[in-house]
Structure 1
Amino acid sequence: MKHFTLIIAAALVAASPAVTPAFAAPAADYAVGAQYDTTHVYVPQDQFDTFVSSFVATFGGTTSKQGEFQVTPTKSLTKSQLVLTPAGTVSVFGFKTPIPVPFGDERTGYLVTDLDAAVKSARSHGAVRRLETFPDPIGRDSVIQWPGGVNMQLYWHTAKPSYKALETVPENRVYLTADAADSFIKGWTGFAHGKITADDKAANGAEIGEPGKAIRRVSITSGYGKMVVYVSDGQLPWPYGRDMTGYAVSDLNATLARASAAGAETLVAPYTTGKRQAAIVRFPGGYIAEIHSGEVN
């Protein structure tokens, strides 16, 4: 009887008009891994080496060979070096020429398995291209923008890189108002196959320098690493909002001591929120970063 029922069902489907699936097939995931996600750090070219030395002294790790390249589709020249630390990777640029638009305001570079397909997917989820895909000395790149003005680079290498997994995965820290937050979160999670691990609509505003106010904090994980979205009135005191990345360490005080010894300045002294202790520092060359130990939730 079961076999006969399946035959009837198949015949009915074959005789029926084409049926549109109730749900579209999920988009492919083009992420490679958090160790390939790099915060883009732009520093004055005469402070390039000082920044790199300070960052390595603070977090440990290694560097790629420094070089001078044209990394933009229009004529330019920059010092460039990759700094790979156990707490996160940065791509450092010290331009020797004026920086062409739109470079300099992209926060993060994400390695993808298929650049054209990833850009197409990002656009289908609400992102726009700041410029069309272009070749660089070791691969291809595109710069995109999400709702709220969140700029990032997607990139692909001709020769597949191989980096060690991170000991701790940093947070991409995004500050938005309610006008754009839901659109950004929907678009990013759809593109990145992101999972919302926490959505606190009454988080303590002291986390972003607004004590006494309630803010929304959304934590997201994906193949591109961690992201935290802070949704507030946007009335942020210095230096909040300038910290694009938050680095997780096992001992905050020891890390801050190393940073200070290496020329970094503490802009926000260590404070505690939830189970997290955090501070904000500025490295030589102007790069501002949050550093924390423990989880906020």
Structure 2
Amino acid sequence: MLRLPSFLLAVGLLGLGTAPMARADASTDTGYAVGAQYDTTHVYVQPADFDRFVASFVATFGGSTSKQGVFQVTPTPSKTMSQLVLTPAGTISVFGFKTPVPYPFGVERTGYLVTDMDAAVASAVKHGATRLVETFPDPIGRDTLIQWPGGVNMQLYWHTQTPHYPALATVPENRVYLTADAADAFIGDWVGYAHGKVVSDDRAAPGVEVGKPGTTYRRVRIASGYGKLVVLVTDGKLPWPYGHDMTGYEVKDLAATLAKAKAAGSTVLDGPYVAGGRKAALLQFPGGYIAEVHQQVAP
């Protein structure tokens, strides 16, 4: 369950270069987004699995890590191991709580860096989000957790000093599984908040993409300043592990990536299969984190 509170990114910034960041006016074109390299999937693992997971993820995708530490990243008392992992395919925040995880932390899937916390939160609420926790300070900025229609939970965070991460080679995909009851509401709210664009809306996408070969489902791909997001609209009757994959990582060579992943202790749970313009598979990393990994292919 990869989702770390990006507020925890505070930890990740230790040892990484920063420069003064003004409380920038939000861009009306990006909906307060800073850039896809600052989108972090939050991954929660047991402390005993922490190092194995981080090593496996880096061995699979390359990249670097921040210095590992133990911190309080919630507004109420707690302690967690924390580390930021920056790869060419996407950034993750890893948490290994040594204490019980205070509610509502642990439910957020992604952390997004914003240019102005108060304005971003106000905009999110205006566009249909609910605050799960009111904005609170962390050692290097401010954070909040919000929920969109359908129970899609995210973190917004802001830093007093701007982090400077290298641009990504490929932009990861936030994978949101919803039923028809909530899909249109979420899509409308997210596009409005993020100033996003619906890239495609395929109402007969191949069901093999959600573990149901021989069927079809609705797939909506959205692009914005926050990166890529795909809404997978199903009846909710999904075979394991579909629905547990919250992020999809694009790579240049899927076969080579899967070989690296398996050598580093990961398991291929499904695939590879070819559909929807990509060759894809589902991976489970040490510690339990499940992700989709794909390579673009000709239609």
Counterpart in the other structure of 1:108: 110
Report the Cα distance in structure 1 between the residues aligned to 2:201 and 2:143, rounded to whole angstroms.
32
Q: CA shift at 1:204, angstroms?
A: 1.1
Given that residues 206 and 212 in structure 1 are in contact (C-alpha distance below 8 angstroms), is that contact kept between their aligned partners in structure 2? Answer: yes
- The alignment partner of 2:161 has SS state of coil
Counterpart in the other structure of 1:271: 273
Counterpart in the other structure of 2:198: 196
Pick from 163, 166, 173 the counterpart of residue 164 of structure 1. Answer: 166
- The alignment partner of 2:287 has SS state of coil
Code of the aligned partner of 1:188: W
Given that residues 273 and 296 in structure 1 are in contact (C-alpha distance below 8 angstroms), is that contact kept between their aligned partners in structure 2? Answer: no
Q: CA shift at 1:40, angstroms?
A: 0.1
- The alignment partner of 1:160 has SS state of strand
Provide structure 1 residue ranges, at least 5 long, that are not aligned to the other structure: 1-25
The structure having more radius of gyration, on CA atoms, is 1
Distance 1:41 1:161, change over 3 A: same
Distance 1:70 1:231, change over 3 A: same
Q: CA shift at 1:210, angstroms?
A: 1.6
Structure 1 stretches of 4+ with a deviation exceeding 4 A read: none
Code of the aligned partner of 2:155: Q
Report the Cα distance in structure 1 between the residues aligned to 2:277 and 2:204, rounded to whole angstroms.
16
Report the Cα distance in structure 1 between the residues aligned to 2:298 and 2:33, rounded to whole angstroms.
26
Report the Cα distance in structure 2 between the residues aligned to 1:296 and 1:142, rounded to whole angstroms.
40
Report the Cα distance in structure 2 between the residues aligned to 1:28 and 1:55, rounded to whole angstroms.
29
Counterpart in the other structure of 2:210: 208
Over the matched positions of the two proteins, sequence identity in percent amounts to 71
Given that residues 27 and 121 in structure 1 are in contact (C-alpha distance below 8 angstroms), is that contact kept between their aligned partners in structure 2? Answer: no
Q: CA shift at 1:208, angstroms?
A: 0.2
Counterpart in the other structure of 2:123: 121
Report the Cα distance in structure 1 between the residues aligned to 2:142 and 2:175, rounded to whole angstroms.
25
The residue correspondences of 1:38-187 to structure 2 (distance < 5 A) are 38-187=40-189
Counterpart in the other structure of 2:234: 232
Structure having greater relative contact order (Cα 8 Å, sep ≥ 6): 2
Given that residues 77 and 96 in structure 1 are in contact (C-alpha distance below 8 angstroms), is that contact kept between their aligned partners in structure 2? Answer: yes
Distance 1:155 1:132, change over 3 A: same
Report the Cα distance in structure 1 between the residues aligned to 2:104 and 2:183, rounded to whole angstroms.
23
Provide structure 2 residue ranges, at least 5 long, that are not aligned to the other structure: 1-27
In the superposition, the TM-score normalised over structure 1's length comes to 0.90
Pick from 245, 248, 266 the counterpart of residue 246 of structure 1. Answer: 248
Report the Cα distance in structure 1 between the residues aligned to 2:146 and 2:219, rounded to whole angstroms.
24
Given that residues 274 and 296 in structure 1 are in contact (C-alpha distance below 8 angstroms), is that contact kept between their aligned partners in structure 2? Answer: no
Render the CA deviation track for 1:264-295: whole Å, top value 9, x for unaligned: 01111211113310000110111000000006
- The alignment partner of 1:256 has SS state of helix
Report the Cα distance in structure 1 between the residues aligned to 2:271 and 2:228, rounded to whole angstroms.
24
Given that residues 108 and 153 in structure 1 are in contact (C-alpha distance below 8 angstroms), is that contact kept between their aligned partners in structure 2? Answer: yes
Distance 1:225 1:295, change over 3 A: farther
- The alignment partner of 1:52 has SS state of helix
Code of the aligned partner of 1:213: T
Q: CA shift at 1:194, angstroms?
A: 0.5
- The alignment partner of 2:293 has SS state of strand
